[in-house]
Amino acid sequence: MVKLTGTLSEFKGLFCYAPLGDGAYLSDEQKQKQQNQLRKGALLATLNGNSIAALAGLGHANGNDRSNEVDAQYITAKLNDTITLKGWIGFYKFNDGDQVEVVAEKHADHYEVYAMLKPSEQIISLVPLCFAGRNQAFKHYRLPMFIFYVICVLLMTTFFSILV
């Protein structure tokens, strides 16, 4: 990974759904290794007598647990009129002439973009699904789920204490 700085030119962005969920940037070998590990875990869960966990592990290994399609923007651009950029970023409109900083990986004929920053507006556009840090994820996702869980447990406890 390298950080590139410069001026955008020939910028083109296409907004669409893209298969960028789990494992989108893994090589075929890495995907196979990950699937084998999940299947091995499912086998161990089966041997341990936990068939529900085994089925969940197999579903995850086969990619049946969720859709890989997410909203994204595929961009192509030139940086300083010499470096070709290509890649998926989140929804943000960049324009020709914008000063940007880019985190990218070098390939044979282009750089694969993973993040693009427009310092003048202090806006960063990342690979889709990279939308929050640890604190934001806790505040917006984990904490509400924990509160929901506690409320459900309290309601079930109250319900069963009434029945007894």
Tokens coding 81? 């009129």
Domain coordinates of the chain in residue numbers? 1-20+69-130, 22-65, 132-164
Instruction: Write out pLDDT tens, residues 79-93.
Output: 998 999 998 887 777
pTM exceeds 0.85 for this model? no
Class of domain 1-20+69-130: mainly beta
CA pair distance 37, 49, nearest whole angstrom:
18
Q: Which residues contact 60 (CB under 8 A, 6 or more apart)?
A: 38
Among candidate residues 13, 3, 4, the one with its CA nearest the CA of residue 96 = 13
Return the minimum-mean-pLDDT range out of 56-65, 71-80, 88-97: 56-65
Instruction: Write out pLDDT tens, residues 2-51.
Output: 999 999 999 888 877 766 665 666 677 877 787 787 777 777 777 777 67
